[in-house]
Chain A
Amino acid sequence: MAGNEIALEALHLKKIYHRGSEDILAVDDVSLTIRKGEFVSFIGPSGSGKTTLINILGCLDNASAGSLKVGGETVFAENCKLSESDLTKIRRRVFGYIFQKFYLVPTLTVYENVLLPFAFFRKPEAKADPMEILTFLGLEKRIDHRPSELSGGEMQRVAIARALVNKPEILLADEPTGNLDTKRSGEIGEVLKTLNQKESLTVLLVTHNPTLAKIAHRTVSLRDGRIAV
């Protein structure tokens, strides 16, 4: 269950893209608070700004205006824009990401793919043995297989294991079931729900799928870059 501690706090976020002489307002004055352990899904039609918003919340991008606090710490605010290196440091500490495509390294085994983040950074509180995560995700018998030998659902579960290995505080899932059939989508939804409930992991889920969105504690609908009431 979600507690009272704040995981993310966004105030009046704006994101403007410049294409030639045209300004595109992708996120328009979004204010949002997400508590630790909360499961929030973001839904909306294509172009509604949900991916842009989650990228900003996940420190993958800077906002054009507004402020963002992660765990009470200001990540950016007016006249304060973090460098790529500073954003990386926050991402290392706080976030795990899963995407529509799995981006597993084809020449590495399942086990090695899950270990991959450790090649670059290992949090002190990271799981000592990734087998625990792999077992939780039902992949314990597939650890020596290469991604090409896995089904789409299994590949996404490997991607989830890889996102979890450094014990993130917040898991960002951007259309994680976009490449999967209904059954596999349901399985991934269950995994995210269990992680949220048993591990108290804060989960932000972007999806087009209204059924999947319903597993969250709260659903944020976006339209034209704004939170729809």
Chain B
Amino acid sequence: MPKKINIYQVAYKNLLRKKTRSALTILGIGLSAWVLVSLLGFNKGYESALNKDIDNMGFQVLVTAKGCPYEAATLMLKGGTGLRYMKEAVIADILKHPEVEKVTPQLMAAIFDPNRGETGGINAYLGVDPTTFPAMKAYLKFKQGVWFTDPAAMEAVVGYEAAELEQREVGDKLLIPEKNVELKVVGILSRSGTADDGTIFVPLRTVQKIFGKEGLITAAGIKVNKNANMNELENKLYDLPDVQVVSMAQVKTTIMSLVSTAKVMVFSIALIAILIAMLGVVNTILMSVFERFQEIGIIKSMGAMPWDVFRMIWTETVILCLLGGAIGVAFSFALSKITDLLIRRLLPYTPTGSLVIINPRLGLLTLGVVVAIGLVSGVYPAWRAARVRPLESIRSEGE
């Protein structure tokens, strides 16, 4: 039988008096910690996923027909609707610049497929040049088959997810709705974690012919020479008629500015959640102090100094915050996939990689922040308890 008891044991057992209240407070803190750690993880993850997407594009500059820059940015990363076209001859003009290492033309075409999903959906086809595009996208690996080689072949290479959705394998036929044209699947890509997974690649000339866009393209991807002056190249490209130049840096800035609004919103929610949790902690501990007013007085008559009582109540707050914080951090690790999905629904554009990156360091940081908040929240209730005079409790006993 231990012959000692310390303040920390007493503080812990005090929290067991009102189990439901303590549990709810811990849950509140846990939820706030979850939001906080997810937000911090998102801050880290989003930019990293965006960088990965941009790096995997294989080109640093995209030239599109003049139009909305946001649309151009979306086109660059995801393919877009409301397409604008420019003449294919622009490729030759672009190649004249010494900063340009490679150029690849692209023609995006989209068509409504009534058999896609339950209510139908848009099928997007990306016309690419078999001589330049595969070289730029060297990171793409094949699950089955190879790239088409004839620029006018009636063939297609299907991204991993698109192949799963269409349930196609190499050798299968792929029907383009409305056009009644069949393409032969010659390759299925392995999963790349990029927008390419959902794309159907078709030779450029074939897409131009099927959709009646001969001599037109929607974009030109440019790989720039090492050590080239990017700004200088951009300025030169702007001299081309009716084009818009979107660089990697611009895309990042454009998307980050779109995302920053959502970030501010999420950060505000996190801040409110933390404030509510803090008030919850203050309320729980203060109620507990008032309920134990006489008991605290008796403890002081036993010889407890004000600092002892302060420490005991403060410890109760820290225990609540530590448990709540640990649960929140554990939740954030366990539910990071769900958090990722929730954020994807909230944002206008999301990169393909993991949006929320939570690591142990971030977990510890959040735990530290939550405990620090607990220490601050506990000061007032602990101070109130430390001020209780034994006599007051004895008097109130007689009342």
Contact = CB atoms under 8 A, between A and B. Distances in A.
Contacts of A115: 3-5
Contacts of B14: 105, 107
A160 to B, nearest CB: 13
Q: Is the interface of B mostly helix, strand, loop or mixed?
A: helix
Nearest to B398: A51
B319 to A, nearest CB: 13
B359 interface: no
Contacts of B88: none
Given A103-B294, A107-B14, A121 B391 contact: no
Interface stretch (A128-136, A184-192, A194-202, A209-217): A128-136
A111 B6 CA distance: 13
Nearest to A88: B305
Interface in A106-124: 106-108, 111-112, 115-121
Interface in A3-19: none
A118 B5 contact: yes
Contacts of A103: 294-295, 298
Interface stretch (A30-38, A70-78, A91-99, A219-227): A91-99
A55 B295 contact: no
B5 A91 contact: no
B372 interface: no
A88 B5 CA distance: 20
B87 interface: no
A84 B3 contact: no
Nearest to B294: A103
Contact of A119 (B7, B300, B394, B397): B7
Contacts of A121: 302-304
Contacts of B5: 108, 112, 115-116, 118-119
Interface string B1-13: 1011111011001
Interface of B: 1, 3-7, 9-10, 13-14, 16-17, 294-295, 298-306, 308, 389-391, 394, 397-398
Interface of A: 51, 55, 60-61, 84-85, 88, 91-92, 95, 97, 99-101, 103, 105-108, 111-112, 115-121, 128-131, 143, 162, 166, 174
Given A105-B14, A105-B295, 16 more contacts: A51-B398, A55-B394, A60-B301, A84-B389, A91-B301, A101-B294, A108-B5, A111-B1, A112-B9, A115-B3, A115-B4, A115-B5, A119-B6, A119-B304, A120-B304, A162-B302
